[in-house]
Amino acid sequence: MVKKINTPQVIAEVAERMGCYKKDTRELLEHFAAVIAEHVAKGERVSFKPLGIFYAQRSRRGRGTGQILLKFRAAKGIQRTVRATLEENKLDLE
Q: Are 53 and 73 in contact (CB under 8 A)?
A: yes
Name the band, by pLDDT with cuts 50, 70 and 90, for residue 78: very high
Average pLDDT score over residue span 65-89 = 89
Cβ–Cβ under 8 Å, residues 77 and 47: no
- Cα atoms found within 13 Å of the Cα of residue 37, Cβ hemisphere only: 6
DSSP H or E segment with residue 78: helix 76-89
**Longest Cα–Cα distance in the chain:** 49
Instruction: Record the pTM.
Output: 0.79
pLDDT above 70 covers what percent of the chain? Answer: 91
25-50 residue pLDDT tens? 999 999 999 999 999 999 999 999 99
Residues with Cβ within 8 Å of residue 34, at least 6 apart in sequence: none
Predicted confidence band at 94 (pLDDT cuts at 50, 70, 90)?
A: low
